[in-house]
Amino acid sequence: MAEDSIYNKHLDVFLLWACRETGILEELLDGPVTAPDVAEGAGVTERAATVSLAALAEMGYVEESADGYEATAELDGFRPETDVLERGILPHRIDSLDHYMDLPELMETGEAPEHTEAGLRRYMAAMATIDDTTVRSIVTTAEHAHPRPERVLDVGGGPGKISEEFARRGADVTTLDIPPVVDLLESHHAEAGLDVVAGDARESLPEGFDLVVSARMILSFSPEELGAYFENAFDALEPGGTFMCTERVWDRSEIATNFAVHMLTVSPNGHMYTEAEYREALEAAGFVDTAVREVPDTPFQGIVGHKPD
Ligand SMILES: C[S@@+](CC[C@H](N)C(=O)[O-])C[C@H]1O[C@@H](n2cnc3c(N)ncnc32)[C@H](O)[C@@H]1O
């Protein structure tokens, strides 16, 4: 059996996408249901219902009992009652597939799909699945560039995992994100004890920090937006402060080009930057001793600059 057959690669995402679109998923979440129940409720053929349920069972998304098929915990991320940050990456992955289907149009127009409020929730849930090893490695790499930072600004902090790790290590952390994200995650950030500011990194940043960091944000910026962000990061720092953003650098990361295709479905302005382009942009903003370093055990690089004393 060919490993690279289309039905052997990401079939679960394709199938769950179709189940979400048809309403099969909704039927299952209200289960237990039989194949004829699903066929009737979702308006699909009985053949499609039978085959889909069998495949979902083999994939571990449903299990069969005497009363029919029931969703397993693997589908909890699709339940509206599941906490926003506990929904996992799967619902967002299905959105990504949806957006890939729009690629021909996105390629022609240069636009990107709008984030609906529900889509933003799914995006944040996906971002919250960043693993602890990656979070610790990003924070440790930043601390190598600037040991024991007292005041840290985490730009585009999203669910706040990286902010929380800096806080756990004793820093006074401010997390900044765009207003819809700050509103959506207000109670989560408050529970985590994070000091949160709404803003736009391309416009302005709060000041007075000795370390400014961001992770997985800048690939959505055009070169002009990147330049504006780097200038704002420079202004946000005290003299002697350090800036580090964590990304996939085009000529340093094996998956950068694939990710660039993914970014076509995320942002209208994104750009893949080389190490030289990052360092040039940092230096244009006033940073010195610029460097691009590996973030160990992650697919990321740290792009580092220092503000002179
Ligand atoms: C891929 S998520 C990464 C979240 C977090 N840094 C992490 O690595 O887990 C990118 C984050 O950057 C935020 N973001 C994007 N553009 C931004 C901007 N112009 N200003 C501030 N935040 C922005 C997004 O809302 C999102 O929360």
* Rounded CA separation 40/34 (Å): 10
Choose the residue to mutate in 161, 178, 271, 300 for probing ligand 1, maximizing ligand atoms within 8 Å of C-beta. Answer: 178
Give the single-character DSSP code of 85. G
How far, in Å, from the CA of 78 to the mean position of ligand 1? 23
Q: Does domain 132-306 have CATH number 3.40.50.150?
A: yes
- As beta bridge partners, residue 172 has 151
Strands (E), 14-171: 62-65, 68-71, 151-155
What's at 22, amino acid-wise?
A: T
Indicate left, alpha or beta for 293 from its phi (over 0: left) and psi (-120 to 50: alpha): beta
Give the tokens for residue 257: 């080009």
Gap between the terminal Cα atoms of the chain: 62
Three-state SS for 265?
coil
Q: Using the predicted structure, report yes or no on whether residue 3 has a pLDDT greater than 80.
A: no
Query: What values do phi and psi take at 194, rounded to 5?
Result: -90, 145
162 CB under 6 A from ligand 1? yes
Q: Please write the tens of the pLDDT for every residue from 196-233.
A: 999 999 999 999 999 999 999 999 999 999 999 999 99
Architecture in CATH of 2-76 = Orthogonal Bundle (1.10)
89 CB under 6 A from ligand 1? no
Atom 4 (ligand 1): residue with closest C-alpha? 158
How high does pLDDT run on average in the chain? 95
Atom 9 (ligand 1): residue with closest C-alpha? 127
> Domain limits of the chain?
2-76, 78-127, 132-306
pTM of the entire structure? 0.94
Name the burial class of residue 154, with classes exposed (0-12), middle (13-18) and buried (19+) by CB atoms within 10 angstroms of its CB.
buried
217 CB under 6 A from ligand 1? yes
* Rounded CA separation 112/262 (Å): 11
Strands (E), the chain: 62-65, 68-71, 151-155, 172-177, 195-198, 209-215, 237-247, 288-294, 301-306
CB 125 within 8 A of CB 88: yes
What's at 273, amino acid-wise?
A: Y
Chain Cα centroid distance, residue 117: 15
Give the tokens for residue 289: 């001793």
Q: Please write the tens of the pLDDT for every residue from 253-294.
A: 988 899 999 999 999 988 899 999 999 999 999 999 999 999
Lowest mean pLDDT among 7-11, 22-26, 79-83: 7-11
200 CB under 6 A from ligand 1? yes
